[in-house]
A = this chain, B = another copy of it.
Amino acid sequence: MTAFAALMAFQRETEALAQIAGRLGWDQETVMPEGAAEQRGEEMAAIEGVLHARRTDPRVGDWLDAAEAPDPAGARALELIGRAYRRNAAVPARLASEFARVTSLAQGIWAEARARDDVAHFLPTLEKVVALSREKGHALAAAGFGAGDAYDALLDDYEPEATAQGIAAMFDRMRPRLVDLREAVLGAANPPAPLTGQFAEARQIGLARDLATAFGYDWNRGRLDLAVHPFSSGSGNDARITTRVVETDPFNCFYSTIHEVGHATYELGIDAAHFLTPLGQGVSMGVHESQSRIYENQIGRCRAFTGWLHGQMHAVFGGLSVGSAEEFYRTVNRVSAGFIRTEADEVHYNLHIMMRFDLERALFGGGLEVADLEDAWNTRFARDFGVAVDRPAHGVLQDVHWSVGLFGYFPTYALGNVYAGCLHAALRADLPDLDAALASGDARPATDWLREKVQRHGGLYRPAEVIARACGSAPSEEPLLDYLEAKFRAIYGL
């Protein structure tokens, strides 16, 4: 057996074990009995230990040194395995283990602090997480990741080859146009009415299933369950989605479902030949988010598709508080200032991200200390959103990310929106009749286009490259901003 074949066989087992760890996570968030939590922690630690040992196995280094790729896909697989191996090798075992230990406890402490609106309860833990994350970033930077920059070295794990400098420059170009749009929309006369009423859980779930079907979600290789925080899980031939139900807010369920269908359909759309190889998963968090976002927003919230959804809701729930399809479209896209990122509309969402990005960069070399983070958050929020944060759970404590050491992750959400903007422009140019299908509740032509242009490649091309290949030009924020301005100026009669 050649070194390449030996490495790929070893890696295939590792990928299969990683799928198992992911499946355990799904189980934990959907069906696990409550009393099993502590034992599950020990089970997860055991499988993570196995994965860590395989990912840092010295034989991988030897095989990498000796392996010759038979084709471009093989070369890319070697590149991805080598990158992951060097990242793992760059972080000392002591630091990796301490990072795992502290962040696993930190998530629970953060949840307690958020429930009690008690920043002080979380601060000592967050101090530790930030210190360990800085140490990890510096260790990776010393090994050459992120071109020697600690924050970029962390960001590189989620969006390879992106840099904070590039993202900051892009955000600087985006912010004025988003702020202008936001102010114009919030000042407009005759805003859309919110949807009111009670929407029974079983009917919401039934329609959520229809929505997933409308986007071509493959039920033979997936399933829908309830979870407190919706997520998708799994790669290859088993990519499951979750949603949640709020009886007064069916859009929460519906658009969470469509969002997760985007993620899961990306995984399911990858060429089967890549399954259980390093190319068998979405290539980056940003590209992943581009799929969930284009499904949720550019397609799911467009006039043609909401027209169909309006009819479905009428049929399922009877009379709605919003009468006409046009008014329903405006209601779905209603813009309102709010504290919470995950509830933000398309106009506000990226502003939430920009703020987090600047704060975490300030924590990494910008002179901001954890003790001052809440003040920095509140000051910035008041400036960007025009309102004072009313309680920490609506402010600095709202997101789980920092508690588990996910620094460098937030900007990938905005990158996903930018990529979605590019893809949407190209999609509409290629499929001029898409609205006719969407108006009849069929979004599969969009899925087919995205599968062909993006999804099937999995990890074969680099993130920016896969978007550029799909769109015919390098990623840019312009299509997203043009789309947002056109859409919301029309909705708000500006």
For A53, give the chain B residue with the smallest CB separation: B50
Q: Determine how close the nearest CB of chain B comes to the CB of A261; give it in whole angstroms.
A: 14
Q: Which of A202-254 contact B (CB under 8 A)?
A: 218-223, 236-238, 240
Given contacts A16-B45, A237-B38, A33 and B220 within 8 Å (CB-CB)? yes
Q: Determine how close the nearest CB of chain B comes to the CB of A22; give it in whole angstroms.
A: 10
Interface segment out of the listed A24-32, A338-346, A406-414: A24-32
Tell me whether A221 and B50 are in contact (CB under 8 A).
no
Given contacts A20-B43, A40-B238, A46-B17, A35 and B276 within 8 Å (CB-CB)? no
Which residues from B are CB-within-8-Å of A223? Answer: 31, 33
A interface majority secondary structure: helix
Interface size on A, residues (CB 8 A): 37
State A137–B456 Cα separation when bound (angstroms).
49
- Asked if A71 is at the interface (CB within 8 A of a chain B CB), the reply is no
Tell me whether A221 and B35 are in contact (CB under 8 A).
yes
Q: Determine how close the nearest CB of chain B comes to the CB of A100; give it in whole angstroms.
A: 15
- Asked if A58 is at the interface (CB within 8 A of a chain B CB), the reply is no
Q: Determine how close the nearest CB of chain B comes to the CB of A16; give it in whole angstroms.
A: 4
Tell me whether A33 and B275 are in contact (CB under 8 A).
no
Which residues from B are CB-within-8-Å of A276? Answer: 39, 42
Contact with B along A101-131 (1 / 0, CB 8 A): 0000000000000000000000000000000
Q: Determine how close the nearest CB of chain B comes to the CB of A40; give it in whole angstroms.
A: 7
Tell me whether A237 and B46 are in contact (CB under 8 A).
no
Tell me whether B36 and A221 are in contact (CB under 8 A).
yes
Tell me whether B219 and A46 are in contact (CB under 8 A).
no
Which residues from B are CB-within-8-Å of A236? Answer: 36, 39
Given contacts A33-B219, A36-B237, A223-B33, A43 and B27 within 8 Å (CB-CB)? no
State A31–B238 Cα separation when bound (angstroms).
11
Q: Determine how close the nearest CB of chain B comes to the CB of A236; give it in whole angstroms.
A: 5
- Asked if A312 is at the interface (CB within 8 A of a chain B CB), the reply is no
Contact with B along A43-58 (1 / 0, CB 8 A): 1011101100000000
Contact with B along A254-274 (1 / 0, CB 8 A): 000000000000000000000
- Asked if A19 is at the interface (CB within 8 A of a chain B CB), the reply is yes
Q: A47 is contacted by which of B20, B36, B39, B275 (Cβ under 8 Å)? A: B20
Tell me whether A238 and B36 are in contact (CB under 8 A).
yes
State A42–B220 Cα separation when bound (angstroms).
18
Q: Determine how close the nearest CB of chain B comes to the CB of A161; give it in whole angstroms.
A: 30
Which residues from B are CB-within-8-Å of A372? Answer: none
- Asked if A34 is at the interface (CB within 8 A of a chain B CB), the reply is yes
Q: Determine how close the nearest CB of chain B comes to the CB of A267; give it in whole angstroms.
A: 12
- Asked if A23 is at the interface (CB within 8 A of a chain B CB), the reply is yes
- Asked if A430 is at the interface (CB within 8 A of a chain B CB), the reply is no
Tell me whether A16 and B31 are in contact (CB under 8 A).
no
- Asked if A452 is at the interface (CB within 8 A of a chain B CB), the reply is no
Which residues from B are CB-within-8-Å of A172? Answer: none
Q: A16 is contacted by which of B27, B32, B46 (Cβ under 8 Å)? A: B46
New contact pairs (15) apart from A13-B46, A20-B47, A33-B220, CB-CB < 8 Å: A16-B46, A17-B46, A17-B50, A19-B43, A20-B24, A20-B43, A23-B24, A33-B219, A33-B222, A33-B223, A35-B220, A35-B221, A36-B238, A39-B238, A39-B275
List residues of A whose CB falls within 8 A of some B CB: 12-13, 16-17, 19-20, 23-24, 27, 31-36, 38-40, 42-43, 45-47, 49-50, 218-223, 236-238, 240, 275-276
20 contacts between A and B (CB under 8 A): A13-B49, A16-B45, A17-B46, A17-B50, A19-B39, A20-B46, A20-B47, A23-B24, A23-B43, A27-B27, A31-B223, A33-B238, A35-B221, A36-B221, A39-B236, A39-B237, A39-B238, A39-B275, A40-B238, A50-B50
